Amino acid sequence: MIQKYPIKELTNAAKEMAKGNFSVRLKSKKKDEVGELITSFNHMATELEQIDNMREDFVSNVSHEIQSPLTSIRGFTKAIRDDVIPKKDQHEYLDIIYQETERLSRLSENLLRLASLDSEQHPYHPVTYRLDEQLRRTVVATEPQWKKKSLQIHLDLESIEVFADQDLLDQVWLNLMTNAIKYSSLNGEIEIYLSRDADEVKVTIKDTGKGIPKDAIPHLFERFYKVDKARSRTVQGNGLGLSIVKKILTIHGCLIDVVSEEGVGSTFMINISVKK
C-alpha cells in the first residue's frame, strides 16, 4: 500500500517502534526525499529488529546457562539432605555441586568481561612487551591442566616484541590454550609457534584434539556457541571463550583463522600487525 500521507504514516510507524514493535515497515516507490526517508526508516527498523532478536537470544542463553547448573545443584543437595544418596557416595556428589558453582561463577565472570569489552570505556592500555615470554607464561599457568591429560607441549617461539594490551592478550592465549587442552584426549600434543613475517606477527596454536565439524566453524566465535550442545558435565564451559577472544582481537585490529578436521585436530592462527 502506498501511503497518501507518508509523513503521517511515518510518524505513526515511529510511535509503534517506540512501543517496541520493530516489525513495522513502510512502502514507498517514490524516489523523492520522502521516499529516501522511508527507505532509511525501514533500514533502521531492520537493524533494530535484529538487535532486539539478539538481545532476546542472549537473555534466553544466559537463563539456560544459569538454569542447568542450578538444576543439578538443587537435585543433588536435596538428594543428600533426604539421605537418598548413601554416605559413601556423598563426597562425589558434593564435588559435582562444587564444580557447578564454579561453572556459575565462571559464567558471571565471562559475562562481566564481555559487558566491559562491549562498553565504549573498556580499558585498553597497549604497551610494548615480549610476546614469546607471555606465551611461555600461559603454558606454565596451564601446566596442571595439560599435565593431568599427559599432553606434550612443543614450543617454537621467536623472540618478538608487540605493542598490545598485555592483560587482554593474556586472556586470548589462556582461552585458546584452555580449549586446546579441554578438547584433546589423553597423550595428545599441542604446538605453539610464534614467528614474524614482514610487518605481521603470527601465533599458531595447534592441537591433536577432537577437531571441529566444517559446518560449525562459521559459528565458533558466536556467544554461547558450543559444537556439542548436549555434552556431559565433565567438559565444562558456556561457549563464551572464543567470543571473548574474537572481541579482544577485534579491539586490537587482529585477525584469527581456524583450520580443523574432525578426529585430527584444530589449528588457530592469529595475525598481529606490528605497529610501533
Ligand X SMILES: Nc1ncnc2c1ncn2[C@@H]1O[C@H](COP(=O)(O)OP(=O)(O)OP(=O)(O)O)[C@@H](O)[C@H]1O
By CB under 6 A, name the binding residues for ligand X.
110, 175, 179-180, 183, 207, 209-212, 220, 225-228, 237-243, 266
Q: Looking at 18-26, 130-138, 223-231, 233-241, which segment touches Mg ion (CB under 5 A)?
A: 233-241
The residue among 28 and 266 lying less far from ligand X, judged by its C-beta, is: 266
Residues comprising the chain, all counted: 276
Distance between CA 210 and CA 125 in Å, rounded?
36
**Among residues 210, 162, 206, which one has the least CA distance to residue 185?**
210
Sign of the CA dihedral running 86, 88, 91, 93: negative
| Cα separations in angstroms, 165 against 8, 252, 255, 271 | 51, 8, 15, 15
Cβ-based neighbour number of residue 121 at 10 Å: 6
The residue among 38 and 194 lying less far from ligand X, judged by its C-beta, is: 194
Query: Grid coordinates in use for 77?
Result: 543437595
Q: At what angle do helices 87-118 and 33-81 cross, to 10 degrees?
A: 160
Residue 225 binds which entry of Mg ion, ligand X, none, with Cβ cut-offs from 5 to 8 Å by kind?
Answer: ligand X
Sign of the CA dihedral running 205, 206, 212, 214: positive
With CB under 5 A as the contact rule, the residue among 142, 241, 249, 254 that binds Mg ion is 241
Cβ-based neighbour number of residue 264 at 10 Å: 12
Nearest distance from residue 259's CB to Mg ion, in Å?
A: 18
Radius of gyration of the chain (CA): 24
Residue 73 binds which entry of Mg ion, ligand X, none, with Cβ cut-offs from 5 to 8 Å by kind?
Answer: none
**Do the strands 200-207 and 161-165 form a parallel or antiparallel pair, or are they unpaired?**
unpaired
The residue among 103 and 252 lying less far from ligand X, judged by its C-beta, is: 103
SS3 239: coil
The residue among 69 and 209 lying less far from ligand X, judged by its C-beta, is: 209
Nearest distance from residue 202's CB to ligand X, in Å?
A: 18
The residue among 134 and 179 lying less far from ligand X, judged by its C-beta, is: 179
The residue among 49 and 170 lying less far from ligand X, judged by its C-beta, is: 170
SS3 95: helix
Nearest distance from residue 175's CB to Mg ion, in Å?
A: 6
Q: Looking at 12-20, 92-100, 202-210, 241-249, which segment touches Mg ion (CB under 5 A)?
A: 241-249
Does 243 bind Mg ion (CB under 5 A)? Our answer is no
Does 179 bind Mg ion (CB under 5 A)? Our answer is yes
Q: Looking at 86-94, 113-121, 232-240, 254-262, which segment touches Mg ion (CB under 5 A)?
A: 232-240
Nearest distance from residue 107's CB to Mg ion, in Å?
A: 12
Count of residues interacting with Mg ion (CB under 5 A): 3
The residue among 12 and 61 lying less far from Mg ion, judged by its C-beta, is: 61
Beta bridge partners of 156: 193
Does 265 bind Mg ion (CB under 5 A)? Our answer is no
The DSSP string of 115-156 is: HHHHSTT----EEEEEHHHHHHHHHHHTHHHHHHTT-EEEEE
Residue 240 binds which entry of Mg ion, ligand X, none, with Cβ cut-offs from 5 to 8 Å by kind?
Answer: ligand X
Binding site for Mg ion (CB under 5 A): 179, 237, 241
